[in-house]
Amino acid sequence: MSNIQTHLKILVQLAVADDHYSKSEDLMIMVIGKANGVPQEEIQKIINEGMTIREKQGEPMDFSTLSFDEKFEYLYDIVQLMKIDHEIFLSEIKYCEGIAEKLGFKKNVISQMSQRIFSDPTITSDRDKLKNLVKGFIN
């Protein structure tokens, strides 16, 4: 499975973590997939599988081969997806913290990124600033 397909699977798992899959979450996953060259049919298949196997663990994700930049993009996307429907659930936060730890970061990187992204809308255009913040949370 390619990194982008794995990335999309993680985003779907986060989107269904609150037992509600919204149109805005669906749209964001579609946009990310299409921007990375994944055909719409493949994205829809990943979404459908994620919703079908929500209760199961699924195949384990291997993050060991990812670069720092790829790991950062995962974190950034899951924080953005968590806030896209304007409702943040504890289950989503816990899921994001778990992903952060699997990526090799301290789990509190999620709260720090969330605060920065929510309080400073310009941070989305200054990713280097946010990347430097995230580097301080590597385990």
CATH number, domain containing residue 45: 1.10.3680
In b/e form, how buried is each residue of 99-123, taking b as 16+ CB within 10 angstroms?
A: bbebbebebebbebbbeebeeeeeb
Q: What is the pLDDT of residue 129?
A: 85
Q: CA-CA distance, 135 to 139, in Å (whole number)?
A: 9
Find the domain containing 45 and state its range.
Answer: 3-135
Domain count, the chain: 1
Q: What is the pLDDT of residue 119?
A: 54
Q: What is the pLDDT of residue 90?
A: 85
What single-letter amino acid sits at 67? Answer: S
Q: What is the pLDDT of residue 107?
A: 94
Q: CA-CA distance, 69 to 135, in Å (whole number)?
A: 10
Intervals of the chain under pLDDT 70: 1, 18, 53-63, 118-125
- Is the pTM of the predicted complex or chain greater than 0.75? no
